[in-house]
């Protein structure tokens, strides 16, 4: 069973049950909600501890519309991809929501396979974003653990300088450069200066090599 949860928010009980059965049959954990109010209370209770999930959100509901629920998810900085379920007259609103950050929308009636495919694509994209964020946090932490001399060596390596040039620039021996280089490579989790430059490049403009 997938650990990802599909949150289905729809005030139509038949639609909720049908969608819950569909995703359960494809191996996804499912949570259903008859309105946005209890769903948002559950989101608030998470206090930013986001597990992997996606949201299927009916655009026409009461007392809160799907668009209002979506806006509240943004207020809480919820990273879950949101897919709107729309009727014929709601496509314009759904398109506007996508431009405003929603993942996608599907017009009722929709094909089961198309719906499942889009939700799984959204989950995969969200997981990739999450992995990238975790790697960025790891790199920033590793940078913070470097000694001042290791950071100086790192800055020179990223500029493409060789050990001998770095030694002359810093007034130390090439052997000392090699020692600091090995230490910072281990801390940063890289095996070459090229790999180091690539990883730091993804953190720009936070990390700027010093000339």
DSSP state of 4: -
* Pairing, β 29-33 against β 53-58: unpaired
Taking the C-alpha atoms of residue 52 and residue 40, their distance in angstroms, rounded to an integer, is 16
Residue 141: C-alpha distances to residues 39, 66, 158 (Å): 34, 39, 18
**Does 68 fall in a domain?**
yes
- 127 and 150 fall within a common domain: no
Tens of pLDDT, residue by residue over 147-193, are 999 999 999 998 889 999 999 999 999 999 999 999 999 999 899 88
- 186 and 96 fall within a common domain: no
User: Per-residue confidence at 209, pLDDT binned at 50, 70, 90?
Assistant: very low
pTM of the model: 0.64
Tens of pLDDT, residue by residue over 62-101, are 899 999 999 999 888 888 999 999 887 788 888 888 888 8
**Does 170 fall in a domain?**
yes
Residue owning tokens 């209370």: 41
- 156 and 120 fall within a common domain: no
- 110 and 178 fall within a common domain: no
Q: Of the candidates 74, 96, 131, which is a domain's last residue?
A: 131
Tens of pLDDT, residue by residue over 100-157, are 888 999 988 889 999 999 999 999 988 887 767 767 767 887 888 899 999 999 999 9
- 33 and 100 fall within a common domain: yes
- 50 and 110 fall within a common domain: yes
How many separate domains does the chain show? 2
**Range(s) of the domain holding residue 163:** 146-201
- 21 and 124 fall within a common domain: yes
Among 9, 5, 123, 7, residue whose Cα is nearest residue 66: 9
User: Per-residue confidence at 205, pLDDT binned at 50, 70, 90?
Assistant: very low
**Does 32 fall in a domain?**
yes
**Does the pLDDT value for residue 202 go beyond 90?**
no
- 79 and 180 fall within a common domain: no
How many CB atoms lie under 10 A from the CB of residue 36? 25
């Amino acid at each position: 069973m997938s650990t990802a949860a599909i949150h289905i928010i729809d005030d139509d009980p038949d639609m909720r049950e049908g969608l819950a059965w569909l995703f359960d049959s494809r191996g996804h954990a499912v949570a259903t909600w008859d309105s946005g109010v209890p769903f948002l209370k559950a989101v608030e209770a998470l206090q930013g501890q986001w597990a992997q999930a996606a949201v299927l959100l009916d655009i026409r509901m009461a007392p809160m519309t799907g668009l209002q629920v979506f806006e509240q998810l943004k207020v809480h900085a919820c990273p879950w991809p949101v897919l709107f379920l729309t009727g014929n007259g709601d496509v314009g609103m759904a398109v506007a929501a996508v431009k405003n950050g929603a993942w996608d929308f599907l017009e009722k009636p929709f094909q089961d396979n198309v719906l499942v495919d889009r939700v799984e694509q959204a989950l995969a994209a969200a997981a990739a974003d999450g992995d990238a964020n975790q790697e960025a946090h790891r790199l920033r932490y590793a940078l913070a653990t470097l000694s001042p001399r290791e950071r100086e060596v790192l800055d020179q390596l990223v500029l493409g300088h060789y050990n001998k040039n770095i030694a002359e620039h810093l007034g130390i021996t090439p052997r000392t450069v090699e020692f600091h280089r090995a230490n910072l490579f281990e801390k940063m989790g890289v095996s070459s200066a090229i790999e180091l430059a690539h990883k730091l490049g993804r953190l720009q403009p936070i990390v700027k090599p010093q000339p």
